[in-house]
Structure 1
Amino acid sequence: MTRRPPVALRPLLPTDVPVCAQIFRDAIEALTGEDYDPGQQEAWASLADDFEGFGARLTKALTIVATDEGEVVGFASLVGNETLDMLYVAPDMAGRGVATTLADAIETLAGARGTKVLTVQASDTALPFFMDRGFEAQQRNTVHRAGQWLANTTMTKAIEPPGGGGGKPS
């Protein structure tokens, strides 16, 4: 059995916005059905319908994309050095370590920028993923989108500075 090489990471390019919008929509529709009903999924996914706004949200943040054989298969955004704003993976790549690779990179970038605590608004679907990464739930939220109420959880994680930073100062 041949092992697939790991995904590659690179900065978002303007030409990536359409595929990221499609990944966003596809991931919500295919992966969140156990936690959100069809109306909630559509309201959430409709954020990608405002293509200009969606693209601006990605380009104003530090957004990285994961590629597999040159094709974008996921993306994640860091806003203000302390908020993991978006983390989405193409459904056919779910469970293959793409989200982990993206989250590792965002945490590393946040730490390199001096962030002490990284925050995420985790969907109910993503909650176990972030808990496994050491994020701790702070509060439950409800967000109103396109006539629907969606629940999520504010979570935080202490970020180690580059080099570990766990030693005593000399």
Structure 2
Amino acid sequence: MTPFVRRYRDFDAPACYEIFCRAVHVGAAQYYSELQRNAWAPHTKMPESWPLELAEQACWVASVEQKLVGFFSLESDGHLSLAYVAPEFRRTAVAAELYKKITEDAQRLVLARLFTEASHLARPFFEKRGWHVTAPEVVMRNGVEIERFQMAKDLKLRSDSLAKCQV
């Protein structure tokens, strides 16, 4: 099963929000308590700011049989802001294909480094791709402590990207 990956469009926002909520509440259930999951992804309607937040980033969505099953987004400074896959599509090609697109964007932006804040669930995915933990951290979400990991990866710039910088 190879997912179809394309750029995010505004009408994808509700499906992305649903994936986010399901990934937190179902996918991360073995790592975080119900209280933590509710603080991280409250069962509320999609925030009005969500579509614009995704549109302002390099955001990719993946679909299988015309249903969205994951999305990743990258900010222009190299921050991998969002990386979520529907629980039933974990350990498939979905995350890997989305990650491939994000790294291609990073190359186009001539980024030397990517960084993110990874959950216990996401940490192994990133470690398998050469990322390293720069610091564990505890953040407060709606008055609840949630443990996560600051992670980073230095990128090798392609020679054609370096040539563009030396003009």
> TM-score, normalization: structure 1?
0.88
Deviates more, 1:74-83 or 1:18-27: 74-83
Partner Cα distance (1:134, 1:152) in 2: 18
Q: 1:6-155 residue pairs with structure 2 within 5 A?
A: 6-46=2-42, 49-155=45-151
Is the Cα–Cα contact under 8 Å of residues 112 and 162 in structure 1 kept in the other structure? no
Count matched residues: 162
Secondary structure of 2:50's counterpart equals: helix
Partner Cα distance (2:64, 2:158) in 1: 27
* Percentage of identical aligned residues: 29
Gaps of 5+ in 2: 162-167
Once the two structures are superposed, residues 14-64 of structure 1 have per-residue CA deviations (whole angstroms, 9 ceiling, x without a partner) of 110000000000011111122110000011112874521222221221111
User: In structure 2, do the counterparts of structure 1 residues 33 and 123 end up closer, same or farther at CA, with 3 Å as the change threshold?
Assistant: same
> TM-score, normalization: structure 2?
0.89
Partner Cα distance (1:129, 1:164) in 2: 28
The two structures, once aligned, show a CA RMSD in angstroms of 2.0
Once the two structures are superposed, residues 120-149 of structure 1 have per-residue CA deviations (whole angstroms, 9 ceiling, x without a partner) of 111111111111110011011111111211
Secondary structure of 1:51's counterpart equals: coil
After the TM superposition, which parts of structure 1 deviate over 6 Å for at least 4 consecutive aligned residues?
Answer: none
Gaps of 5+ in 1: 166-170
Is the Cα–Cα contact under 8 Å of residues 118 and 157 in structure 1 kept in the other structure? yes
